[in-house]
Amino acid sequence: MQKKKMTPTDLLVSDFLEKVKTVQGTFELIKVLKSRTYKIASANVLIRAATEGANRRFFYGLNYLTVEEMNNLDNPFIAFICGSMDKILIIPAKVLFSCLPQISHDRNGEYKITIDKDLNVVLSGKNNRLDCSKFINNWDLLYQEYKSDSNNTVEESIHSVVQGRLIEIGNIRGFKTFCPDKSKKFNDKKLGEITTLKDCPELQFADYDLLRRIDVIWFKEKGKNLIPEKAFEVEMSTGTWSGVGRLATLMDYSNVDLYIISDELKKFNKVMQAFSDYENRYKHIATDNIGDLYSAEINLKQLRYHIGL
């Protein structure tokens, strides 16, 4: 089978990683992210590459779903390779993200990042730029000591992102939402700030200790009561999927849909063998699909607001 030919941008990324080897020795692809993001020393680095375009500028796309995921990581950076290895911007991601309101985007949430010939990020307004002079080829930024209050792993950070998206989808659809991880963050807000329920309602036929530890639950108001409608467990690790057991406490509620959110369908099918009597109650959804649904729900909400319908 003929090997796929590398594009010019693929070659730039390959050269970047070879450079990392000479400086750091090792790097690791972050597999739970679909973007080209690597663990380099204590930094989480999203790599973007472009060849020179019109007016000696460089053009990049950056989807807001990727922004959310990067923003939730510890010590995130974006490396913009501008045509060659001697023109690389290594920007702390939060510095760039603070400027996103001044960068255009399309209806799908794709930000249009433009870097000029002087390697500054173009912002809205005449001659308005983000001065990036201190980020040009500044490899030391990736290797400086980093201390975090959270010390979350990438998996833990993305777990919180998926929880946040599920909560927001439930809120948009008019459900009452609950999540036990109130201090975890999504879009710089604690999950406890975006859920509509502070405490998990008690249910007659469910083990409350298990119920209140389910990752996300959507409830529907019925009179003075709250009835569970959908429950979600997010499984980012390859270890024991304890969430499947927690969801089982809702088995007596036949109306409740039980969801496992993961990128391991084979693992899901294997785990379901241990729950063969109830496997028809569980549904598997890939994490990317949750991101796509979240994006669609947000866009629909904005469209409804815009047209007043």
The pLDDT tens digits for 281-296 are 999 999 999 999 999 9
**What class has domain 8-143?**
alpha beta
Give the span between the Cα atoms of 59 and 248, in whole angstroms: 49
pTM of the model: 0.92
What rounded mean pLDDT belongs to the chain? 92
pLDDT digits (tens, 9 = 90+) for 224-242: 899 999 999 999 876 657 8
Most confident region among 20-29, 209-218, 276-285 by mean pLDDT: 209-218
What integer pLDDT is reported at residue 166 of this predicted model? 98
Give the span between the Cα atoms of 46 and 255, in whole angstroms: 42
Report whether pLDDT(90) > 70: yes
Report whether pLDDT(33) > 60: yes
Contact (CB, 8 A) for 260 and 282: yes
What integer pLDDT is reported at residue 26 of this predicted model? 84
| The Cα angle at residue 294 between residues 93 and 94, in degrees rounded to 5 | 10
What integer pLDDT is reported at residue 3 of this predicted model? 62
Give the span between the Cα atoms of 285 and 104, in whole angstroms: 32
Main-chain phi, psi angles of 227, to 5 degrees: -105, 125
DSSP state of 201: P
Query: Quick check: helix, strand or coil at residue 97?
Result: helix
Main-chain phi, psi angles of 110, to 5 degrees: -90, 110
Portions of the chain given CATH number 3.40.1350.10:
8-143
Q: State mean pLDDT over 100-116.
A: 93
Alpha carbon separation from 308 to 107, 168, 171 (Å, rounded): 18, 21, 19
What end-to-end distance do the CA atoms of the chain give, in Å?
54
Look at residues 287, 42, 283, 37 and name the one whose alpha carbon lies nearest to residue 158. Answer: 287
User: Quick one: pLDDT band at residue 149, thresholds 50, 70, 90?
Assistant: confident
Q: State mean pLDDT over 172-190.
A: 96
Report whether pLDDT(77) > 60: yes
Most confident region among 34-43, 211-220, 243-252 by mean pLDDT: 211-220
Report whether pLDDT(2) > 70: no
What integer pLDDT is reported at residue 62 of this predicted model? 96
Q: State mean pLDDT over 145-171.
A: 91
What integer pLDDT is reported at residue 242 of this predicted model? 84
Look at residues 164, 175, 263, 179 and name the one whose alpha carbon lies nearest to residue 215. Answer: 179
